[in-house]
Amino acid sequence: MSLSGFGDTGKAQPPPALFPAPESDTPTPGRRRGGAPQTGPAQTGPSRDGAPQSGPGQHGPARPGFPQQGPSQGDDAGRQLVFFGADAAEPTVADLAGLLAGPGEVVRMGGTARLSVQVDAAWRVHVLVAELASRGLAASWQPTEGERHAVRTSYTRVLKPLAAAWLHGTTKRPPAAFHLTGRRLRLWLAAAGTPEPPDCFLLRLGADDQECWEPIGVALASAGLAGPLLGPSEGGPAYRITGRRRLARLAELVGQPPRAAPTNAWPTRS
């Protein structure tokens, strides 16, 4: 079945409705802070995790009609950037490892690969499509059962190194060098982060990705976000991030909430 949206052939359809529609809050892809627009070729060398370090715009500009998600430069323009935080670096394809830390999936076909993730809310579709577009990747979406939505990229050679690093046969497992940066956490949060009042946040995992759960927990702990693993019988699989200090750390790393995100759906600095 052909998907509606960007990336597939056929007439493009709008993303799921949001009220009000989110506005753009990301700098134009290809423009570096404090400099002129990037005009040279994007970097394509592999990262330590196997994903190419490609800049935005590698496959052309983002399509119109979607917000460009990213750090807001308003009141926080003078704030010192957190090392490894989402505000401290330009988006790259390597950041998509954050989706694979959660419920994201990657599959190979010949010399190409495709990344997909199912989400539980329309606002997540808006954010993820914009995040993918900012990395030069066309994305499409379709509604699925249980009022969920599937977001996926087209098959592309750009994602082949990511698939090679994460797939062992058909089993998803993090590479030995895997670590979590702010931008990776931001994508994970956008896809599968859920607030748990009064002072917790759940980062949900892939239900069938048991081999990933433990090494992902190690990566979280290394980022200062250690938390208990909740099994399926406890409302998981997910890692629960709790405590004022850890939630503040999470908020620093993932940056400002996307405009599409509902109130209280994103951790904030307190």
Domain coordinates in residue numbering, the chain: 93-254
Q: What is the pLDDT of residues 7-59, one digit of tens each?
A: 333 334 455 554 333 344 443 344 434 443 333 333 344 444 554 444 433 33
Cis check for the bond before 198: say yes or no (omega within 30 of 0).
Answer: yes
Q: What is the pLDDT of residues 254-270, one digit of tens each?
A: 999 999 999 889 998 76
Q: Where are the beta strands (DSSP E) in the chain?
A: 4-5, 105-109, 112-119, 139-144, 148-153, 167-168, 171-172, 193-196, 200-204, 229-230, 238-242
Amino acid 16: pLDDT: 58
From residue 269, alpha-carbon distances to 27, 186, 197, 250, 255 in Å are: 22, 14, 16, 9, 9
Q: What is the pLDDT of residues 154-201, one digit of tens each?
A: 999 999 999 999 999 999 999 998 999 999 999 999 999 999 988 899
pTM of the shown model: 0.72
To which residue do tokens 């998509």 refer?
96
Determine the average pLDDT of the residues in 123-144: 95
What's the maximum distance between 2 C-alpha atoms anywhere in the chain?
Answer: 52
Q: Are 173 and 211 in contact (CB under 8 A)?
A: yes
Determine the average pLDDT of the residues in 49-78: 39
| Tokens describing residue 118 | 């199912």
- The dotted CATH code for 93-254 is 3.10.28.10
